[in-house]
Amino acid sequence: MDTWYAAHCGAARRYSARSLHTPQTALLMHHLTILTGASRGMGLAMAQQLLQADALLLCISRQTNSDLTEQAQRAGATLLQWPQDLNDGATAAAQLGTWLQALDPRTLASATLINNAGVIPALVPLSESAPADLAQALRVGLEAPMQLTAAFLGATRSWAVPRKVLNISSGLGRRAMASQAAYCAAKAGMDHFTRCVALDEALLANGAKVCSLAPGVIDTDMQLQLRSSDATRFPDQGSFAGLHAQGQLTSPADAARRVLAYLAREDFGKDAVGDVRG
Ligand SMILES: NC(=O)c1ccc[n+]([C@@H]2O[C@H](COP(=O)([O-])OP(=O)(O)OC[C@H]3O[C@@H](n4cnc5c(N)ncnc54)[C@H](OP(=O)(O)O)[C@@H]3O)[C@@H](O)[C@H]2O)c1
C-alpha cells in the first residue's frame, strides 16, 4: 500500500469519526458518491453539480482537478480525488473496498457509484487495431466498472441506506458502428452486466438500484476525437462533424444535469438499461 493511499484510507477513518463525534457534523448526513472520470468532460460537470455541503465525493481518474478542490472548499463539501489509472481496475477496486469498509454508514444518507470514465481507442477497423489499445478500451470501459461495482456492492451490502450504481453507457452499446468495435463492445457489455447485477440485487433485502444509462451526445474531448479522426478509416466521421457543425451537441453541464436528474428519479433502477433521451 503506498503512502498516498494510506493517507486517504486514514482520511476515511477520520471522516467517520469526525462525523459521529462533532455535534455540528453529526446532524448532517452525507450523500456519498464515488465518481470515475471526473477530471474533465461530463464527469467534471457532474462532480461540480454534486458538490453540495452534504456531499462526500470520491473522484477517481488519472488526473486530479484543482478547480474541483477549490469549489469543494467553497461549498463546504468533502472531496477526495484519487489519481488512479483504471487500466488497472483491480487495484482501484481493492482500494475502494478498503476505503468503504473504513466508513461508518451511520453517517451517510445514501451511497452511489457512478462509473463514468470511458475511452475511445484508435478509430480504425478491428483488423488494424493494436492489442494494447483494445485492451485499454475494454479495461477502462468494462473491466474496471465491473470490478468497482463488485467492490462497492460487496462493501456496502449490509448498509441500510439507499444504494445505487449508475453506469454511463452509450447509444453505441446498442447500435453497431464500423471502426468502433472495442468501444461498442465495452458499452454493450456494460449494459448486459448491469442487467445481471439488477437480478442479483433484486434478491437482497436492501438491494442496490442499478442502471446503465446512455447520456446523449455531449460536447467533450471524446466528440473532438470522433470528428477529428481520419474519415478514410472511420466511415461515420462526417456525421460526428455534422452534429458539431449543426450545434447538436449537449453541453457537459446540461448532460450532467440530465444524468443526475435521472439518477434522482423515484423509479431509478426500474429499467436496468436506459437513455436520458427517454
Ligand atoms: N461525449 C459523448 O458524446 C458521449 C456519448 C455517449 C456516451 N458517453 C460516455 O460518457 C462518459 C463521459 O464521456 P466524456 O465525453 O465526458 O469523456 P471525456 O471528456 O473524454 O472524459 C473521459 C474521462 O474518463 C477518464 N479516463 C479516461 N481514461 C481513463 C483511465 N485510463 N483511467 C482513469 N480515468 C480515465 C478521464 O480522466 P483522465 O484523463 O484524468 O484519466 C476523463 O475524466 C464516457 O463513459 C463516455 O463513453 C459520451
The three cell numbers of residue 162 are 439507499
Are 166 and 145 a contacting pair, CB within 8 Å?
no
Give the count of beta carbons closer than 10 Å to the beta carbon of residue 26. 13
Q: Does ligand 1 lie within 6 Å of residue 121's CB atom?
A: no
Q: Does ligand 1 lie within 6 Å of residue 59's CB atom?
A: no
**Ligand 1: centre distance to CA 140 (Å):** 9
**Three-state DSSP class for 231?**
coil
H helix intervals, 157-236: 181-202, 221-227
Task: Set out the domains of the chain in order of their start, with CATH numbers.
Answer: 2-17+29-218+256-275 (3.40.50.720)
Pairing of strands 163-168, 273-275: unpaired
44-83 residue pLDDT tens = 999 999 999 999 999 999 999 999 999 999 999 999 999 9
145-162 residue pLDDT tens = 999 999 999 999 999 999
Residues of the chain with pLDDT > 70, as a percent, come to 90
Which residue CA neighbors atom 2 of ligand 1 most closely? 218
pTM given for the model: 0.94
**Three-state DSSP class for 247?**
coil
213-268 residue pLDDT tens = 999 999 999 999 999 999 999 999 999 999 999 999 999 999 999 999 999 999 99
93-147 residue pLDDT tens = 999 999 999 999 999 999 999 999 999 999 999 999 999 999 999 999 999 999 9
10-24 residue pLDDT tens = 555 444 434 433 444
